Amino acid sequence: DAGVIQSPRHEVTEMGQEVTLRCKPISGHNSLFWYRQTMMRGLELLIYFNNNVPIDDSGMPEDRFSAKMPNASFSTLKIQPSEPRDSAVYFCASGQGYNSPLHFGNGTRLTVT
């Protein structure tokens, strides 16, 4: 199994631009999580899906952030417009059922200048 695949690995963009981060979960997993990690705030849960349905998006910082999961094998996290304070490493993770271990991708390092 290839594990959770995130793309791109690195993204550098200018303030005001739209950014789209992508995630392919492990096949057969029915839950998907998006996290953000910074030195100041640590690992923050942004949103998670069960069976492609958003369950809890209370961690999404602002309306500039949106996440979708159109099918079981793909999810996106979009930031529009991006700001320098959005600079962070964004992780995607997937799991199979309640209480099962989460498998994390290698993350996308986003830099907004």
Task: Give the binding site for other proteins (CB under 8 A).
Answer: 4, 31, 33, 35, 42-45, 48, 50, 55-56, 91, 93, 95, 98-99, 101-107
Prior bond to 81 cis, omega within 30?
yes
Q: Residue 40 contacts by C-beta under 8 Å, 6 or more apart in sequence?
A: none
Residue placing its CB nearer to other proteins in the complex, 76 or 81:
76
Residue 48 tokens, joined: 């998670």
Cα Rg for the chain, rounded, in angstroms?
13
Query: Shortest gap between Cβ of 35 and other proteins (angstroms)?
Result: 8
Query: Shortest gap between Cβ of 17 and other proteins (angstroms)?
Result: 25
